[in-house]
Structure 1
Amino acid sequence: MITFADVTVRFDSFTALPAFSLHVEEGEFFTLLGPSGCGKSTALRALAGFVDLSAGDIHVAGKKITHLPSGKREVGMVFQNYALFPGMNVRENIAFGLRVQKLSKAETDRRVAEIAERVDLSRQQLDKQVAELSGGQQQRVAIARALVLRPKVLLLDEPLSNLDAKLRRQLRVQLKELQTQFGITTVYVTHDQDEALSMSDRIAVLDQGRIEQIGTPQDIYERSATEFVCTFVGEVNRLSRALVGTLVTAGASGLDADATTYARIEKVKVVRPGTAHAGIAVPATVDSHTYHGMHNVCHLRTEHDRLRAVLTAHDGWRPCTGERVDLVVDPDSLLQYPGANAGSQDVVAVAGATR
């Protein structure tokens, strides 16, 4: 559906995207994820026609759009600040693109009413000024304005970043439902890993204009292809060489003692000493707890490391500060990457299995 073929974008002497290649399937909810300045918004704006390419091509539905003006690319875009017209009411905002296309008033009214119903905007809200709406309602107006033009592709540039945390969580669900309802190919840009993991069919993780990994949310999280992806997505413990050596000595022969090793914090288990478990136990002391509502994070100290583990109500107990416990690690859950002297980080060893 969407193909970036060796796309390069330069701003004077700075290269924002170097030889960027990517393919998005039809109907996918595809997310570009990465830190600020990684090139994700540049890629989106290049697709929208707001940024000129220095090299390469972009195709949509088999059609080369590299040099087409933005208005002829059949893409709809929702900006971070929604870019709604404050001097127009909701109905006029949604109808703006249709009037530019010189559709008849009857057809414009029909399509505005149809799209408003589908994004859950009432007739009363259509006659309100934009400033009278909540942030979530304004977002729906921006989406309606993009979808009323019936684009082939919907582009979303951090559309939830200006909302409070509770509303963001609610609108993630609504956005995904809308995308599924319309079946429209969607490219979503965010730096929020929770958004990316909960909404996407596939994710591309970017760093400094380059794609570190493309995969399903589960691939990205559980089989992180590079050390950057591993540390950027989710929370991890970095294990010392001494602790990895202890695990190897205890039977985790598939681990590379010289590799950089990580354990996601929910993969570290805490049990009472002597309790039966699946994995390798290491003696530890509880330093402290932090409360997160649905779970606690237990801060632990071993002979060589300070690690974190997630405790939930299902664990059935909460050790006290200063208590001696066993920290249990399943070697199959560990993520390993070649050390600084071992060359490229493009190969991941998960429990000794090369991927």
Structure 2
Amino acid sequence: MIEIKNLKKIYNGVTVVNVPHLQINKGESIGLVGNNGAGKTTLFRMILDLIRAESGEVLSNGVNVAGAEAWKSYTSSYLDEGFLIDYLTPEEYLYFIGGLHQQNKAQVDEKLAGLAEFFNGEIINKGKYIRDLSKGNQCKVGVGACLLQQPELLMLDEPFANIDPSTQFRLKNILKDQNKNHGVTTIVSSHDLNHVTDVCERILLMEKGVVIKDIATSSSTLSELEEYFGVGQSIASYSVDKEENH
């Protein structure tokens, strides 16, 4: 579904993305992990043709996304609140997005009813503009707008970062359902290793713009990632310090 070839992005003489080749097949659930500055968001924006590369290309269903339009009809994404129209209410924004996809108000209302648990009574008919919502509730609006579109490809950048634990749980179930029961290709970036290994069947680890590991998720994946990021060492150091102080 997505094929990346010799993709490179450079800022101020520093290469921030350098991906010689990457293939993401239709129906896969992909988790993208890495430290701050690893290039995850830049890669997302290049896949969505929001940033142009110095060299290389991103193909969506065999077509270069740069300058093309067809891929936009089956791709939905939420990277940050900049994707929203903050002077609208959530309802106005969601009806607007539905209208772009030839859905009338009744059809949008039907889909929103299916998201009632995810919204948790905090989004619809609250008399607030999107700009007045918390970061977490803005995320709910963005994810809801993505799901309205019934996409073939769903891309979310750090969707777990600002939402509460109950909403995290509900979002994980939504992502699993979209992938398993609707065949949606999902690409999710997250700093939360537990969430991403729970939701995704394949993990891409980025470091300094390069995909350094491509892992099929298994029972040992979380431990492997924790070891890479030093979680185990940090816990061990804490335990030693604690024992020495008693």
Higher strand share: 1
1:148-178 superposed Cα distances (whole Å, 9 cap, x missing partner): 23332111011221235x3464345344344
TM-score, structure 2 normalization? 0.78
Match of 2:38 in 1: 38
Separation in structure 1 between the aligned mates of residue 188 and residue 96 of structure 2, nearest angstrom: 23
The structure, 1 or 2, with the larger RCO (C-alpha pairs under 8 Å, 6+ apart) is: 2
What SS does the aligned partner of 1:113 have? helix
CA RMSD of aligned residues (A): 3.4
What SS does the aligned partner of 1:161 have? coil
Q: Is the 8 A contact 1:38 1:209 kept in 2?
A: yes
Q: Give 1:186 deviation, angstroms.
A: 1.0
1:300-354 superposed Cα distances (whole Å, 9 cap, x missing partner): 9xxxxxxx9xxxxxxxxxxxx68xxxxxxxxxxxxxxxxxxxxxxxxxxxxxxxx
Q: Give 1:90 deviation, angstroms.
A: 2.1
Match of 1:97 in 2: 97
Q: 1:61 to 1:169 in 2, by over 3 A?
A: same
Aligned ranges for residues 90-169 of structure 1 at < 5 Å?
90-100=90-100, 103=102, 107-120=103-116, 121=119, 125-128=123-126, 129-130=128-129, 137-164=137-164, 166-167=165-166, 169=168
Q: 1:148 to 1:18 in 2, by over 3 A?
A: same
State whether structure 2 residue 221 is matched by structure 1 residue 216: no
Match of 1:282 in 2: none
What SS does the aligned partner of 2:50 have? coil
Q: Give 1:12 deviation, angstroms.
A: 4.1
Match of 1:270 in 2: none
Q: 1:137 to 1:70 in 2, by over 3 A?
A: farther
Which of these residues, 272, 296, 299, is aligned with residue 240 of structure 2?
Answer: 299
Q: Is the 8 A contact 2:19 2:211 kept in 1?
A: no
TM-score, structure 1 normalization? 0.57
Aligned ranges for residues 1-355 of structure 1 at < 5 Å?
1-68=1-68, 72=72, 74-81=74-81, 83-100=83-100, 103=102, 107-120=103-116, 121=119, 125-128=123-126, 129-130=128-129, 137-164=137-164, 166-167=165-166, 169-180=168-179, 181-218=181-218, 220-221=221-222, 230-232=227-229, 234-236=231-233, 298-299=239-240
Q: 1:91 to 1:215 in 2, by over 3 A?
A: same
What SS does the aligned partner of 2:16 have? strand
AA in 2 matched with 1:92: E
Separation in structure 2 between the aligned mates of residue 170 and residue 82 of structure 1, nearest angstrom: 24
What SS does the aligned partner of 1:49 have? coil
Q: 1:233 to 1:214 in 2, by over 3 A?
A: farther
Q: Give 1:41 deviation, angstroms.
A: 0.8
Separation in structure 1 between the aligned mates of residue 210 and residue 33 of structure 2, nearest angstrom: 11
Q: Is the 8 A contact 2:78 2:155 kept in 1?
A: yes
Separation in structure 2 between the aligned mates of residue 74 and residue 88 of structure 1, nearest angstrom: 24
Aligned-residue identity in percent: 20
1:180-224 superposed Cα distances (whole Å, 9 cap, x missing partner): 444311111122222222221111000001111111233644567
Stretch deviating more after TM superposition (153-162 or 75-84): 75-84
AA in 2 matched with 1:113: D
What SS does the aligned partner of 1:51 have? coil
* Runs of at least 5 residues in structure 1 that lack an aligned partner in the other structure: 238-263, 266-287, 291-297, 301-307, 309-320, 323-355
Q: Is the 8 A contact 1:96 1:145 kept in 2?
A: no
